[in-house]
Amino acid sequence: MSMVLYNDLTRTKEPFVPVREGHVGFYSCGPTVYDFFHIGNARPFIVFDTLRRYFEYSGYEVTYVQNFTDIDDKMINRANQEGISVSELADRFIAEYYRDADALGVRRPTHAPKATEHMAEIIDLVSTLIEKGHAYEVNGDVFFDVASFPAYGVLAKQSLEDLQSAARTDVNEQKRHPLDFALWKSKKEGEPSWPSPWGEGRPGWHIECSAMSMKYLGSTLDIHSGGTDLTFPHHENEIAQAEAATGKTFAKYWIHNGFLLIDREKMSKSLGNFLTARAALEKFPPRAIRFFMLSAHYRSPINFTEESLIQAQSAVERLDNCWSDLQHAKKNPGSKEGGAELVPLLDGLKNRFKEAMDDDFNTAAALGVIFEGVKAINTFLKESSEPDLPSLERAEQFLRSVDSILGIIGIEEGEAHGDEGEIENLLKERETARRERNFSRSDEIRDTLAARGILLEDTPQGTKWKRRG
Ligand code: AMP
Ligand code: ZN
């Protein structure tokens, strides 16, 4: 069965059929880089990166584009407050973005374009819209003419009249229609500006995403995503600009993540109720944050509490324990074929994992399936006195493959350390010391390892070790 995605354009689940077979062109609206991002912003970064990984796992080649908005009012105000240039501010917070996003296991996009580096594409698109009668210039400002585009409201599922009465009255003498929006803004004193056919100025926010997405993905994208607050007007305007210019469908599937809430309110900079990803990472392991984000369906709201993060942390520890128990068992495998039940069970679970992910990327259900697998592996390890190597490897492969998508088990971390041999040697030395009743040496080894974040557990099957969360 192929993947089914809920398309906000049709408000139904639709089979995923890409423009080009085997390829996914995927654009996700990225951050405005005027500050650290908060864990509400982290939700789209994490979930859409995970969806990208799932497409890759399913055999697609994915071109994933996530932009940086590096020029807008917020950028200008913040740069003025700090007494630095807008581009210095952008450089700083792009670096901070990568520091936190990397820590959260968000893979870097194929392309991460900045608006300020795409002025030529933006100006071209605005010029085309003017030529085609979809935009007009007034005193150096250029506006999109919503009345010229009959499909305006296609994503919001509202007519121009309904949208107009719902919209706050936007008093601007220059505009023909209150919903007309700026494609180009004429320069104001003290603001950065770029030359254009309409004089010095800067682009509007919506046009940058249309211009940059089409530059890297062509005129029809497979998927366009962002937080649900971007549906209107940002994404509606992106559709209008792109389709009015090209006459082609701009994006086949529009997907939006639900809000991350705190005390039942949207987490946002303006409400001041936010926790930066940086602060969250100081308190909780990154994989616990990922687990928390993926534990709800991406379209549902998710409520952030300390308690939910603590629960996510203990869930991740259960996964890590299963992984390290498997590694331990593999060191001393038995010869009995103990996996007669385990192997087919894991095969079934792998299929159910795929079914959950194929069903509109249901990571919550997929996590449930993984825990069924963990339970089966734990039982196998406990009940089989001589777990055989092929079954252990099959169990390892199950965890490894689901984790290549979700990034919640400490597999790579353990392997990246490359010090397992040394730890095993110290453990052997400790066992000898204990046999010889040399407890001061055995305690010394335990303390040395603890200082390196390695925790020991003495079990009837020998001493197990794991890295601290
Ligand atoms: P911004 O930097 O404000 O443009 O936001 C970057 C991304 O985060 C956008 O896709 C927003 O829709 C999304 N976003 C902002 N606040 C939240 C929230 N509380 N929960 C989920 N997504 C959010
Ligand atoms: Zn955008």
Specify if 282 maps to a domain: no
Residue 349 lies inside a defined structural domain of this protein: no
Residue nearest to atom 2 of ligand 1 (CA): 31
How distant, in Å, are the alpha carbons of 428, 430, 439, 462 from that of 433? 9, 5, 7, 14
**In one letter, which amino acid is 60?**
Y
Looking at the domain assignment, is residue 378 inside a domain? Answer: no
Give the per-residue pLDDT at 171.
Answer: 65
pTM for this entry: 0.90
Which residue among 29, 34, 41, 94 has the greatest number of ligand 1 atoms within 8 angstroms of its CB, and so is best to mutate?
A: 41
Classify residue 267: in a domain, yes or no: no
**Which residue did the predictor score with more confidence, 174 or 36?**
36
The answer to whether residue 18 is domain-embedded is: yes
Please count the structural domains in the chain: 2
Q: Which of 257, 286, 314 is the last residue of a domain?
A: 257
Closest ligand 1 atom number to CA of residue 225: 10
Q: Residue 251: which CATH number?
A: 3.40.50.620
Top pLDDT among 451 and 9 is at 9
User: Which stretches of 159-259 are DSSP H helices?
Assistant: 160-166, 205-217, 236-246
Note the pLDDT of residue 168: 62
Ligand 1, atom 6, lies closest to the CA of 31
For residue 1, name the pLDDT band (cuts at 50, 70, 90). Answer: low
Span 74-119, pLDDT tens digits: 999 999 999 999 999 999 999 999 999 999 999 999 999 999 999 9
Q: Ligand 1 pocket: which residues have CB below 6 Å?
A: 29, 31-32, 40-41, 43-44, 226-227, 229-230, 257, 259-260, 266-268
Ligand nearest the Cα of residue 27 is 2
Q: What is the DSSP string of 219-241?
A: SSEEEEEEEGGGIIIIIHHHHHH
Domain that holds residue 131: 4-257
Expressed in angstroms and rounded, the spacing between residue 211 Cα and the centre of ligand 1 is 21
> What DSSP state is assigned to residue 469?
-
Final residue belonging to a domain, choices 238, 257, 276? 257
d(CA 17, CA 2): 9
User: For residue 352, is it within any domain?
Assistant: no
pLDDT digits (tens, 9 = 90+) for 250-280: 999 999 999 999 999 999 999 999 999 999 9
Residue 52 covered by a domain: yes
Q: Which atom of ligand 1 is nearest to the CA of 228?
A: 12
| Ligand nearest to the CA of residue 237, numbered in listed order | 2
Residues at Cβ < 5 Å from ligand 2 ion: 29, 209
> In this structure, are residues 290 and 43 in contact, taking their beta carbons and an 8 Å threshold?
no
Q: Which of 212, 236, 257 is the last residue of a domain?
A: 257
Flag whether 403 is in a domain.
no
